[in-house]
Amino acid sequence: MQADLKMNFFVEDLINLPKVRVRSVVREREAIFLQLGFREEEVACPHCGKKTGELNQTRTVRVRDLPISGQLVYLQIPRRQFYCKKCQQYFTEELDFIETGRRFTRRYEEYIYERVIASSVEQVKREEDLSWHQVNGIHQQVYERKKKVNWGQVKRLGLDEIAKHKGHKKFVTVVSDLEKGELIEVIDSHQQEEIAEVLLQQPLEVREAVEEVSVDMWGGFPKLIEKVFPNAQIVVDRFHVMKAVNDNLNKIRKQVKFKIKIKGAKWLLLKNQKDLKEEGLEKLEAVLKQSKRLRKAYQLKEDFREIYETTQDPESGKNKFKEWLCKAQSIYGDAVKTIRNHLNTICNYFLSRTTNGVMEGINNRLKLIKRQAYGFINFENMRMRFLSCFT
């Protein structure tokens, strides 16, 4: 008996739940069952705060907790219902380590939540011997507990579109805080009115504080931005403009009939010249030697990047880009047209030179989450998973 009490004392230490006593420990196959009790016989009424010891009834629930030494742990918790004389009401005792109606402790749910973010529902489900719906439900529960309703202060905001599924034509709009490098909203549409509807839920002072909105060249964003973020300057994100030029250069490369095939030609052409080592430069020269048109296109691409690197204000940026557009007209038909249409907003980049890596980084991270997720059951599920990875 004495030995038992002593052992339980150590188990109580181990499970680290103040106010709780461990009455017995039972091991069954791979699992440990801890029968709990409480140190206090009186609890405070949630309505009036007065302490009462008038126990009406007790019902035991089984709740999953964090594993101990690789073994599953279940807590058998007596849920006590008391009667408060002052309020003339029954109430069930509130416990800080489990939420009403849940079958998992809070800390276990937090642990599952973190693991889902680090891997995927599929993987956690297998490792924890839970069902897909249990893992997904826990993730949702913790997310609801943590989510921020208001964005807080966002000065530089990015709007971007990503495909719902790989190669899919359905898009979602992702909203990010470019200064913090965080995703702040995901919208199930790329239609202006629908996006506006979601964005307008933010209070006016939050929207007015946005100074700059970065976008790509495809969405019909300008009107929407004026309406939602009245003080914002529209900037076409540098990453998207450079991508338009690079895509066009790659198209030109595909049209060339090479006599000598050189491995990695695409990569050599798209990479910044200043980042190439001697060996790379030699290979690049071997590629360019084979087509005058490709050489010209390549030089124009490098010139374009140079303008981005060296320009200090929108006005001179505009002049340099205009000059470039004239020279590039005959070679870069597609990109020239797109850039000309957005020249003013492209040049707004030079106002504050918002880094072009942030949107690209968020984009890549979302793609990775999508790949690991093996699909989502619905949009809300996808949105939540995305957002939780950035908090």
Question: Which residue number, 82 or 111, has a Cβ lying nearer to Zn ion?
Answer: 82
The minimum distance between CB 82 and Zn ion, in angstroms, equals 9
**CA dist 314 to 61, 321, 348, 352, Å?**
66, 10, 6, 10
Q: Of 172, 147, 146, nearest to 159 (Cα)?
A: 172
Radius of gyration of the chain (CA): 30
Identify the residue whose tokens are 């069930």: 92
Question: Which residue number, 88 or 378, has a Cβ lying nearer to Zn ion?
Answer: 88
Question: Which residue number, 52 or 356, has a Cβ lying nearer to Zn ion?
Answer: 52
Tell me which residues touch Zn ion (CB under 5 A): 45, 47-48, 84, 86-87
Q: Of 320, 300, 316, 317, nearest to 236 (Cα)?
A: 317
* Joined tokens for residue 191: 């239609």
The minimum distance between CB 42 and Zn ion, in angstroms, equals 12
Q: Of 355, 334, 337, nearest to 238 (Cα)?
A: 355
The minimum distance between CB 51 and Zn ion, in angstroms, equals 9
The minimum distance between CB 146 and Zn ion, in angstroms, equals 31
Strand-pair category, 31-38 with 71-84: parallel
Which is it for the CA torsion 354, 356, 357, 358, positive or negative? positive
The DSSP letter of residue 232 is P
The minimum distance between CB 197 and Zn ion, in angstroms, equals 44
Question: Which residue number, 7 or 48, has a Cβ lying nearer to Zn ion?
Answer: 48
Cα–Cα distance for residue pair 106/114, rounded to 1 Å: 12
Cα–Cα distance for residue pair 245/300, rounded to 1 Å: 9
Which is it for the CA torsion 252, 255, 259, 260, positive or negative? positive
Cα–Cα distance for residue pair 288/325, rounded to 1 Å: 22
Cα–Cα distance for residue pair 385/379, rounded to 1 Å: 10
Cα–Cα distance for residue pair 180/59, rounded to 1 Å: 48
The minimum distance between CB 53 and Zn ion, in angstroms, equals 13
Question: Which residue number, 45 or 213, has a Cβ lying nearer to Zn ion?
Answer: 45
Question: Which residue number, 9 or 90, has a Cβ lying nearer to Zn ion?
Answer: 90
Question: Which residue number, 45 or 75, has a Cβ lying nearer to Zn ion?
Answer: 45
Question: Which residue number, 90 or 374, has a Cβ lying nearer to Zn ion?
Answer: 90
Q: Angle at Cα 142 formed by Cα 136 and Cα 148, nearest 5°?
A: 120
Residues in Cβ contact with 199 at an 8 Å cutoff, skipping those fewer than 6 apart = 175, 185, 187, 207, 224, 228
The minimum distance between CB 44 and Zn ion, in angstroms, equals 8
Residue 25, beta-bridge partner list:
34
Question: Which residue number, 91 or 308, has a Cβ lying nearer to Zn ion?
Answer: 91
The minimum distance between CB 87 and Zn ion, in angstroms, equals 3
The minimum distance between CB 57 and Zn ion, in angstroms, equals 17
CB 41 within 8 A of CB 25: no
